[in-house]
């Protein structure tokens, strides 16, 4: 039986989807370090990862949410670089929970409705192969037709406060499950 453990220090890393979130407000009682960088691609995060490691103490959890900009630019083959990012963080912080966050719904007219779910399937497989967790926030923000729920997007990609609350609830539920297995 797994022991209960408190997950206090969260390191959230990724693009504007992370950066724009008021995570400390959504996850009270936890220390949230927001290392989101607007416009960042998977490959750019791979380059930034060593600098992150130098500046951060060991977290209890590392959540990676990256790939939105790759998808928006039509660059869908980013999984090798993503795996490298995950490996670097796992090797640096072996006791931290590693979490790959699903991509979130987007309303880009050139993107097929099933494109992001297919990418999320590959991210889930990557998490399984790399012994990481997969947080499926997609399911909290999309309907059965793979379209964003009403009121979760402020533009084609970025979330509203409602969207962030839904995502944060999904994350908090995951944290509670990990703390009380």
Reduced 3-state DSSP string for 40-76 = CCHHHHHHHHHHHHHHCCCCCEEEEECCHHHHHCCCC
What is the reported pLDDT for 113? 83
CA distance 145 to 143: 5
Within a 10 A sphere around the Cβ of 179, how many other Cβ atoms? 15
Using CA atoms, how far apart are residues 24 and 123, in angstroms rounded to an integer?
26
| b/e burial code for range 15-38 (CB count within 10 A of at least 16 → b) | bbbbbebebeebbeebebbbbbbe
pLDDT digits (tens, 9 = 90+) for 167-178: 999 999 999 999
pLDDT tens-digit readout, 3-50: 678 999 999 999 999 999 999 999 999 999 999 999 999 999 999 999
Average pLDDT over residues 127-135: 98
Residue 3 confidence (pLDDT): 65
Closest CA to 10 of 66, 56, 54, 55: 56
Average pLDDT, rounded, for the chain:
95
With cut-offs at 50, 70 and 90, classify the pLDDT of residue 2: low
22 contacts 164 by C-beta, under 8 angstroms? yes
Q: Does residue 1 register a pLDDT over 60?
A: no
pLDDT at residue 181, rounded to an integer? 85
pTM of the model: 0.96
**pLDDT tens digits for range 74-108:** 999 999 999 999 999 999 999 999 999 999 999 99
**From CA 64, how far away is CA 134, in angstroms rounded?**
10
pLDDT at 5: 82
Class at the top of the CATH hierarchy for domain 9-179 = alpha beta
For residue 116, pLDDT over 70 is answered with yes
Q: Which residue has the tokens 């453990």?
A: 5
* Residue 129: exposure state from Cβ atoms within 10 A (0-12, 13-18, ≥19): exposed
């Amino acid at each position: 039986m797994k022991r209960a453990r408190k997950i206090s220090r969260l390191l959230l890393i990724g693009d504007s989807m992370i950066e724009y979130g008021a995570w400390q407000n959504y996850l009270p009682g936890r220390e949230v370090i927001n290392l989101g960088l607007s416009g960042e691609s998977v490959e750019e995060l791979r380059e930034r990862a060593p600098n992150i490691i130098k500046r951060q103490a060991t977290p209890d959890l590392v959540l990676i949410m990256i790939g939105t900009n790759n998808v928006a630019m039509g660059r869908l083959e980013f999984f090798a670089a993503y795996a490298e990012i995950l490996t670097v963080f796992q090797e640096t912080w072996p006791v931290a929970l590693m979490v790959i966050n699903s991509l979130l719904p987007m309303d880009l007219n050139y993107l097929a409705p099933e494109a992001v779910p297919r990418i999320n399937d590959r991210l889930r497989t990557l998490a399984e192969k790399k012994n990481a967790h997969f947080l499926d926030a997609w399911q909290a923000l999309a309907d059965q037709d793979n379209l964003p729920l009403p009121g979760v997007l402020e533009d084609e990609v970025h979330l509203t406060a409602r969207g962030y609350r839904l995502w944060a609830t999904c994350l908090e539920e995951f944290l509670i499950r990990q703390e009380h297995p």
